């Protein structure tokens, strides 16, 4: 096979990559929640937390579960060459492969709902667009559900999928290959659709051009998830070629038959699995980060206001009397008030024919026609 799979232990790489991606995603979402609860007007302790925020937090939980499962699978040998594993470890590795694969696909599928929810909050689009978005997302989830279930139902009994020491049979690998191709292709299309479709609508919002461009770029970056999906499609052929030759070693009656005189006598297919795990987590992380960036406006303004105030206080010459005290007080105490004032100003910008933003951030006044 190609040198792509010639790494001794993809499990170690998958652990490092998945947890790094999760850390970046988690930090971004935590900052998002801080912005919602501390910088935005709202009732109660949770400030202006909305449906989009709760959906995002659920997606982060799924991403966390995926990373934990990848770590467990790697501990049992997933990602290592079969020749280096004991027969019992091979069974465990393949079992965790099925579990991880059935959960992983949700980590890059559910974030599409986070994108839809943040678009609703920004654009407040009408019922026709709502039906379109949700129809696309739900049809995608139906494909994901079918793939997730098929990971276990392709073999009868289910345990035969990872333990060939028992009697059973499996469906042709082509069924899983077709599901994988279609689901990933559809996911790539939706990633690109949700990245590009809202841009003309955002550019018509009643807010500064610079803010409109910033939001469009932030949401447009979710198109990077489409690139990840396309890359997955490009390597699927190699992955399923391995599975076609040796779908979990189905030509052997027992796991111990994998070895002959200490040598592996069949191709190994545990190596590509963690590599696909990395790509799946990357796709989900990109979507969640891009869905969260537009909500960080108040934080950016607060940091900018703080830095501006600090720089101004250092450069301002000392003056005597009340004028000096008043100016110093304006700088020392005004940064937070300035930021809060900026947020209120942005919230009020939707004047005639516009609805005030529920976010109080410089990129969400919604258009109502």
Domain ranges of the chain: 3-299
Looking at residue 343, its pLDDT comes to: 41
- Return the higher-pLDDT residue of 21 and 297: 21
Looking at residue 304, its pLDDT comes to: 78
Average pLDDT across the chain, whole number: 74
- The fraction of the chain above a pLDDT of 90, given in percent, is 22
- Return the higher-pLDDT residue of 236 and 145: 145
Encode pLDDT of 65-84 as tens digits: 999 999 998 888 777 766 66
Residue pair 343/39 in contact by the 8 Å Cβ criterion: yes
User: 97-111, 171-185, 210-224, 255-269 — which is least confidently predicted?
Assistant: 255-269
Looking at residue 242, its pLDDT comes to: 62
Looking at residue 2, its pLDDT comes to: 47
Looking at residue 41, its pLDDT comes to: 58
- Which range of 105-114, 116-125, 311-320 scores highest in mean pLDDT? It is 105-114
Q: Which of 275, 254, 278 is nearest to 80 (CA)?
A: 275
- pLDDT category at 38 given cuts 50, 70, 90 is confident
Looking at residue 59, its pLDDT comes to: 94
Is 316 a residue whose pLDDT tops 60? no
User: 50-64, 221-235, 249-263 — which is least confidently predicted?
Assistant: 249-263
- How is domain 3-299 classified at the architecture level of CATH? Up-down Bundle (1.20)
- The fraction of the chain above a pLDDT of 70, given in percent, is 69
Is 111 a residue whose pLDDT tops 70? yes
């Amino acid at each position: 096979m190609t040198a792509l799979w010639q790494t001794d232990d993809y499990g170690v790489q998958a652990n490092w990559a998945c947890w790094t991606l999760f850390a970046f995603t988690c930090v971004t979402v935590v900052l998002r929640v801080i912005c919602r609860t501390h910088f935005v007007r709202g009732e109660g302790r949770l400030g202006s937390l909305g449906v989009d925020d709760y959906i995002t937090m659920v997606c982060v939980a799924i991403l966390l579960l995926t990373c934990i499962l990848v770590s467990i699978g790697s501990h049992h040998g997933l990602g290592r060459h079969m020749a280096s594993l004991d027969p019992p470890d091979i069974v465990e590795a393949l079992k965790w492969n099925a579990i991880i694969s059935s959960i992983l696909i949700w980590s890059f599928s559910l974030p599409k709902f986070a994108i839809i929810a943040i678009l609703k909050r920004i654009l407040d689009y009408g019922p026709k667009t709502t039906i379109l978005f949700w129809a696309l997302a739900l049809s995608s989830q139906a494909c994901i559900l079918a793939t997730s279930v098929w990971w276990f139902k392709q073999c009868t009994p289910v345990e035969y999928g990872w333990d060939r020491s028992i009697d059973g049979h499996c469906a042709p690998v082509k069924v899983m290959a077709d599901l994988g191709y279609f689901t990933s292709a559809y996911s790539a299309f939706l990633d690109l659709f949700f990245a590009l479709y809202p841009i003309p609508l955002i550019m018509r919002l009643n807010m500064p051009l610079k803010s409109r461009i910033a939001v469009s770029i932030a949401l447009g970056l979710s198109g990077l998830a489409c690139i990840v999906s396309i890359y997955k499609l490009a390597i699927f052929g190699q992955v399923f070629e391995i599975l076609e030759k040796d779908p979990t070693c189905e030509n052997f009656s027992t796991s111990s038959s994998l070895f002959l005189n200490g040598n592996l006598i069949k191709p190994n297919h545990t190596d590509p699995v963690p590599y696909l795990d990395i790509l799946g987590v990357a796709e989900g992380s990109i979507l969640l980060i891009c869905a969260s960036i537009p909500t960080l406006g108040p934080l950016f303004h607060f940091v900018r206001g703080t830095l501006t105030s600090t720089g101004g206080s250092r450069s301002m010459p000392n003056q005597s009397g009340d004028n000096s005290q008043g100016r110093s007080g304006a700088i020392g105490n005004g940064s937070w008030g300035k930021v809060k004032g900026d947020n209120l100003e942005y919230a009020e910008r939707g004047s005639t024919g516009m609805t005030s933003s529920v976010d109080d951030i410089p990129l969400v006044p919604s258009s109502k026609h």
